[in-house]
Amino acid sequence: MAPPKKPALASRAIQLSIPYQLHRGFLCFLNLRSLLAFLVVLTCVIGGDLLLDAILQHTDLEAGLLRTLYPVPNFQELEIDFAPEVWLALVGLSLGTLIIVISIAAQSIPKIVELYMQDWVSLVYIWFVILGSAQSIYIKFYRDTEILRASSIILNLYVFLPAFITFSFPYIYYVLKGIQPTVVIEKISRQNIKNIRRLTTPSNQALVGIESYREAYQLKLLESLNQLDSMLHFVSFKEPKAQIIQYISLAIREFIPCKSRMGTDFFRVGDVIRADISFKTLIDQFPLLERNHTFYEQKCFRILGNAYVYLLEESEFDLASLCASEMSKVGLAALSIQAEKLLNLIVIRFNTMLRFALKHGVKNNEARNLYNLAFHYRTFIEALVRHGQVASATQSFYYLRSYGNEIYAYGRTSPAMYFIVDVFAAEMKKILIQVYYQHWPLSTQRHLLEEMLQVDSPPEVDVSASKPRHLNHGVRALQIGLALFYLKVEQLEFVERIIADILEDLEILGEPAFRQAIAGICDRIRNAQPTFWEDTDRGTANLYYAPERDQLSRFCNLLEARLTSGGSSA
């Protein structure tokens, strides 16, 4: 026996077919913009001519108010031979400007021709000029016949021609302004944001179940991002590059809160996503992308990641730092809705950026990018701490320590890296202070402190080797600064652990050299000021300044007590 039909499903299919057909009609409408603009303008010209003719038939042109305000010429004797030449000159000026300007702009702004083919202002203006010139030829051809109406002459010579001569310069200015990279970027980004928000409407939620509609919409979103990505490599000025980076970040931040209202069907990985250039090497991850609903974020992250590498190679330090800053903002947006899976992607992206910055820094002995990136990574981890993301914050803290160890190992061949180890230690110190104020469990704080104490102690270094390893006194200064904070808040257990770690240097240096090093570090802390006398990308803040330096004498007494009682074995 055949199974019964499901009327509910059939009814839903019928309900979906109606808005889907309307959608297809709307797409057809958009694809025929030029034809539609032509029909609208043609209707306006013919309708205006007929309307004016009807008005003139009921108006006495030889008397009354019209005669007083404006002398009416004899239309039969009016010289109109000049009109077609003027109109054709106007057509040449408008079209010539449009073609030349767009041709030049297309060399640095990809797909700008497509933008102007969809620009209603340009389409309507050009068709008005063309039809105005055609009307002037019609007037000249039929001037001595009864077919020609006075309304056509008035409309063409007294309305259209003066109007479009007057508006020719504003239109040229409009075209020139429209090809500015910042304007093009804003247009693309504004349309992209509209498309994202439109996905949350009930009609779109119903239609995303239809494969052709879903893939067309996915293509629309991905093409906008690809266009911004292409422009990033074409434009040469910093302002549009910064604008592109900020708009890509804004797109993610707009997309994140809208995801829950888009429906799960929209995140299916189809032919459009598989064919996109950013996913060509992610074939094995397509099921994960579909399950986690993260194809759009992954696309944006890959664009930002590629932009970061490109800007590193171009020595654009400030723009490279902007990529990291925008990534941190995306992290805050993900935290606002507790998007765990997205947070993991952001952590991975920060680690990837650190890897590229490290490779670039070691190759060029350049610490600036790592210096800036460490700051943004720390602000992201602090946000994790504030939102109670213990697991993610702890794991990110571990990554920070791991990269600090690796950077420390590179210091032998690239001396600039030793300063970055100090930077990483300073950022970890700030995170630990934040963790304390968030009242995390002491066991977690103890674990994080152990991570920081390993920053300048890579596991592969043999402390008993004949050639002693390099001792980073900057890291020790920061660890002592953290100990001063713990003394201030009476966390003596952590102070004792820091002292025990410092005393490990006693075996390497010997007591005289050790005492001399500690004295120098304490003097450095005692004399440090909140600001440095030189400016950096992060201002004049002094990494080594310890606001709790009034606890320094107390710390020295504790250290001396441990030293005299047997050092690290005590």
* Three-class HEC string of 258-285: HHHHCCHHHHCCCHHHHHCHHHCCCHHH
Same domain, 152 and 108: yes
Task: Please name the helix (run of DSSP H) or strand (run of DSSP E) that holds residue 536, with its range, or none.
Answer: strand 531-536
Shared domain check, 175 and 46 = yes
pTM, two decimal places: 0.80
How far apart are alpha carbons 403 and 417 in whole angstroms?
11
Closest to 153 measured CA to CA, from 166, 141, 139: 139
Q: Are 146 and 203 part of one and the same domain?
A: no
Q: Would you state the pLDDT for residue 78?
A: 58
What is the Cα–Cα distance from 393 to 380, expressed in whole angstroms? 9
CB distance 417 to 374 below 8 Å = no
Tokens matching residue 564: 């005299």
The b-or-e profile of 38-72 (16+ CB within 10 A means b, else e) is beebeeebeeebeebeeeeeeeeeeeeeeeeeeee
Instruction: Give the CA-trace dihedral at 240, 242, 246, 248, to 10 degrees.
Output: 70
Alpha-carbon distance values, 485 to 87, 147, 259, 352, 443 (Å)? 81, 97, 43, 32, 18
Q: Which helix (H) or strand (E) holds 541?
A: strand 539-541
Which residues are CB-neighbours of 108 under 8 A, at least 6 positions away? 181, 234, 235, 236
The SS3 of residue 136 is: helix
Last residue of a domain, one of 314, 339, 371: 314
> Is residue 321 in a domain?
no
Q: Are residues 111 and 154 in the same domain?
A: yes
536 has which bridge partners? 539
21 within a domain of the structure (yes/no): no
Q: Are residues 204 and 167 in the same domain?
A: no
- Residue 255 has a pLDDT of 92
DSSP H or E segment with residue 534: strand 531-536
Q: Please check whether residues 170 and 268 belong to one and the same domain.
A: no
Best CA proximity match to 210, nearest among 445, 37, 12, 364: 12
The stretches of 367-472 forming alpha helices (DSSP H) are: 368-386, 390-410, 416-437, 442-452
Distance of alpha carbon 416 from the chain centroid: 30
Are 219 and 175 in the same domain?
A: no
Between CA 23 and CA 473 the distance in angstroms is 67
| 238 assigned to some structural domain | yes
Domain-ending residue, one of 179, 196, 226: 179
Helical segments of 106-147, H only: 112-117, 120-141
**pLDDT of amino acid 36:** 86
Residue 113 tokens read as 């021709």
Residues 137 and 212 in one domain: no
- Integer Cα distance of 386 and 390 in angstroms: 9
Count how many domains the chain has.
3
Q: Say how many C-beta atoms besides its own lie within 10 A of residue 475's C-beta.
A: 24
pLDDT score at 512:
87
Q: Which helix (H) or strand (E) holds 318?
A: helix 317-336
Classify residue 291: in a domain, yes or no: yes
Assess whether 69 and 47 both reside in one domain.
yes
Give the C-alpha separation, 80 to 136, whole Å. Answer: 8
Residues 172 and 232 in one domain: no
Residue 504 lies in a domain: yes
Q: Is residue 461 part of a domain?
A: no
CB 346 within 8 A of CB 329: no
And the tokens for 361?
């820094």
* Cβ-contact 555, 494 below 8 angstroms: no
List CB contacts of 423: < 8 A, sequence separation 6 or more. Answer: 367, 370, 371, 374, 543
Report the C-alpha gap between 318 and 331 in whole angstroms: 20
Choosing from 314, 338, 356, the residue where a domain stops is 314
Classify residue 542 as left (phi > 0), alpha (psi -120 to 50) or beta.
Answer: beta
pLDDT in the model for residue 362: 87
Alpha-carbon distances, residue 377 vs 243, 370, 382, 449 (angstroms): 22, 10, 9, 18
Q: What is the helix (H) or strand (E) element at residue 514, kind and residue range?
A: helix 511-527
Burial class (CB in 10 A: 0-12, 13-18, 19+), 266: buried
Same domain, 189 and 261: yes
Structural domain range at position 269: 182-314
**pLDDT tens, position by position, for the chain (570 residues)?**
445 444 444 444 444 455 555 555 555 555 677 888 888 888 988 888 888 878 877 765 544 544 554 555 555 555 667 778 888 888 888 888 888 887 877 777 766 777 777 788 888 888 888 888 888 888 877 776 767 777 787 788 888 888 888 888 888 888 888 888 888 889 889 989 999 998 888 877 777 778 888 888 889 899 999 989 988 888 888 999 999 999 999 999 999 998 888 878 888 888 898 988 888 888 888 888 888 888 999 999 999 999 999 999 988 989 999 999 999 999 999 998 888 889 999 999 999 999 999 999 888 888 889 999 999 999 999 999 999 999 999 999 999 999 988 888 887 777 778 888 999 999 999 999 999 999 999 999 999 999 999 887 644 444 444 444 555 688 899 999 999 999 999 999 999 999 999 888 888 888 888 888 888 989 888 888 888 777 777 777 788 888 888 889 999 999 888 888 865 443
